[in-house]
Amino acid sequence: MQIVVCIKQVPDTTEVKIDPVKNTLIRDGVPSIVNPFDEYAVEAAVRIKEQFGAKVTVLSMGPPQAESALRKCLAMGADEAVLVSDRAVAGADTLATSYTLAKAIEKIGKPDIIFCGKMAIDGDTAQVGPGIAEHLGLPQATYVQKIREVSTHRLLVERVSDSGYELVSIPLPCVLTVDKAIGEPRYPSVKGSINASRAKINVWTAADIDAPPEKTGLNGSCTQVMRIFTPKIEKHNEMLCADSDEALCDLLLAKLQEAKIV
């Protein structure tokens, strides 16, 4: 079985600090991590590999630094890594990103399963997984919380719905986006990490994957950022002070009653 896992390197938002004066992000020294949901996707792929045997290729699109994210996935048990890195693919919206990844997947081969995390924590769109599926003309199951059965032609998966889950039978090849409930990602072993640090990362350009410039990056994007601004926070901001906890609680309750909430 052939599996491709699409991953994204993102800034670790839990480590981001806000400049208290300018109210802007302090970017210096913010570590980059593998998008947390994508780690769950890698975990799901590696579990299938261990149980049924599979070759797992991790795929990412991004600047050369994204290699480190791919190495982490290799350390977790993926077999090969591909990075699409090219100025021509930079600044892509989800349409152009999913196109580029789909072209890279076509070059990798004909995978049986393509895994993605349910969304990336920096963009939050959840659009790239279904976008890849559409570009490749494959069926999809999003928000998968469990893979119940794996056979050569079909998967039986649980897809999270608003009020529970749906049991879905999906033919291979297909695209799955996974939820956290699929299973905790493992910590890479020492041996895995050492091997991963020496592994070769295949770096491909847009030309390598046969992606014409008008369909990738900014050129291939239908959406356009018109402006970026810092939201004005017009908030009543008050620290409550009192001599005792008792008085503090009374003060707060008075405020909430005033606002007709309690």
Partner 1 sequence: MSVKIIAENCTGCGICLEKCPCGAIEIVDNIAKLKDNCTSCGACARACPTKAIEVTRKPKKSAVKLEDYKGVWVFIEQHQGKIHTVALELLSEGRKLADALQVELAGVLLGDDVEHLAKDCFAYGADKVYLIEGPVFKHYRTDSYTNAIVEVINKYKPEILLFGATNNGRDFASRIAVRINTGLTADCTELSIDPETKLLQQTRPAFGGNVMATILCPRHRPQMATVRPRVMKLCEPDYSRTGEIIRINSSVKEEDIAAKILEIVESASKTVNLQDADIIVSGGRGIGGPQHYHLIMELAEALGGVAGASRAAVDAGWVPQYRQVGQTGKTVAPKLYIACGISGAIQHLAGMQGSEIIVAINTDPEAPIFKVANYGIVGDLHKIVPLLTKKVKELKAQKANNKVAASV
- Of 87, 102, 157, 92, nearest to 133 (Cα)? 102
Contact set for partner 1, span 228-257 (CB under 8 A): 228-231, 233, 235-240, 245-246, 248-250, 252-253, 255-257
Choice between 196 and 211, CB closer to partner 1: 211
Cα separation, 140 vs 153, whole angstroms: 14
Which of these ranges, 69-77, 118-126, 195-203, 204-212, lies near partner 1 under the rule CB under 8 A?
Answer: 118-126
Q: What is the DSSP string of 76-100?
A: HT-SEEEEE--GGGTT--HHHHHHH
- Closest approach of partner 1 to the CB of residue 198, in Å: 26
Question: Binding residue for partner 1 (CB under 8 A) from 49, 79, 80, 91?
Answer: 91
Dig out the tokens for 93 from the structure.
């919206």
Choice between 56 and 119, CB closer to partner 1: 119
Q: Please tell me whether residue 58 adopts helix, strand or coil conformation.
A: strand
CB atoms within 10 A of CB 196: 22
Cα separation, 51 vs 167, whole angstroms: 21
131 scored as a contact of partner 1 (CB under 8 A)? yes
Which of these ranges, 43-51, 67-75, 133-141, 196-204, lies near partner 1 under the rule CB under 8 A?
Answer: 133-141
80 scored as a contact of partner 1 (CB under 8 A)? no
Choice between 194 and 248, CB closer to partner 1: 248
Choice between 169 and 197, CB closer to partner 1: 169
Choice between 14 and 152, CB closer to partner 1: 14
Which residue pairs from 154-157 have beta carbons closer than 8 angstroms and sit at least 24 positions apart in sequence? 155/113
> Which residues touch 232 (CB under 8 Å, ≥6 apart)?
none
Contact set for partner 1, span 166-205 (CB under 8 A): 166-171, 174, 180-181
- Please write down the HEC assignment for all residues of 150-188: ECCCEEEEEEEECCEEEEEEEECCEEEEECHHHCCCCCC
Question: Binding residue for partner 1 (CB under 8 A) from 68, 165, 192, 213?
Answer: 165
164 scored as a contact of partner 1 (CB under 8 A)? yes
- Name beta bridge partners: 258: none
124 scored as a contact of partner 1 (CB under 8 A)? yes
Type and span of the H or E element at 94: helix 94-108
207 scored as a contact of partner 1 (CB under 8 A)? no
Contact set for partner 1, span 23-42 (CB under 8 A): 23-25, 27, 36-37
